[in-house]
Amino acid sequence: MIDVDNKLHEFDRHMVWVGFAKLAPISLFVAVFGAAFGLAATQAGLSDTVIVAMSTLVFAGASQFAALELWGPDVSLITLVITVFAINARHLLMGATLYPWLQHLPLAKRYGVMLVASDANWALSMQAFGSRQPGIGLLLGGGLAIWLSWVIGTWLGVLSGGAIQSPKALGLDMVMGCFLLAMVVGGDKNLRLLVIWIVAACASLLAYRFLPENSHVVVGAVAGGIAGTIWTESKHEH
């Protein structure tokens, strides 16, 4: 059950710092991928300023790599926007699962916190909420740690010229997945989250089978987000 009346949405500087400290270790691996992106972007012909600005303002590793694959004079801005949206559509699902607590925040704080939402700090905050502990501070602090590491890593990649050309060869691509799996196993297990994930998974599998390539990411996230919104509005859990 989700308790939305215990002020679990409240946070202060200490809570933000705790979130930052908790995700600081895994952020080191994020910096490695940031360095790989900086190198790849340099090889793609982007200027140093554009590369660092992209990581600072966009903060979406997978979609930034995808954008590099499409980068060129023959690719329209609309194509790039659709690609980035498709890859990051899972944030719709994140927003739906966080809504019971985010709805209590002022609009500016709500969207300000979500600017640094990513897989790892979202999982950490959901685990805290599942244990009836405040999670917004973890979401914000952890997101700041990951964002800072991504930007620094990108900058180092631009400067290094290729010290680490293939993070996958070192098995570093598995670190985030293992972390998320640990968070899921140790997190809250309630009917609402189960239904959301089942709806998202089924919709994604059907889209993968019958719809155009990569559309399953958007379809699954939208379906899960709708399920989470409907459940929240019609079945408040106390």
Domains of the chain, by residue range, sit at 13-187
DSSP character at residue 162: S
Question: Among all chains, which residue has been given the structure tokens 């979401």?
Answer: 139
Q: Tokens at residue 96, please?
A: 């739906």
DSSP 24-75: HHHHHHHHHHHHHHHHHHHHTT--HHHHHHHHHHT--HHHHHHHHHH-STTS
Give the phi and the psi of residue 106 in degrees, each rounded to 5.
Answer: -60, 155
Q: Tokens at residue 177, please?
A: 């997945």
Q: How far apart are the first and last CA of the chain?
A: 6
CA gap 89, 63 in Å, rounded? 11
How many residues would you count in the chain?
238
- The tens-digit pLDDT sequence of the chain (238 residues) is 444 456 888 888 999 999 999 999 988 888 888 888 888 888 777 888 988 998 998 888 777 877 777 776 666 677 777 777 777 777 888 888 898 899 888 999 888 899 899 888 998 898 888 888 899 999 999 999 999 999 999 999 888 755 555 555 655 555 545 544 555 555 556 777 778 878 888 988 998 888 876 567 667 777 877 887 777 544 444 4
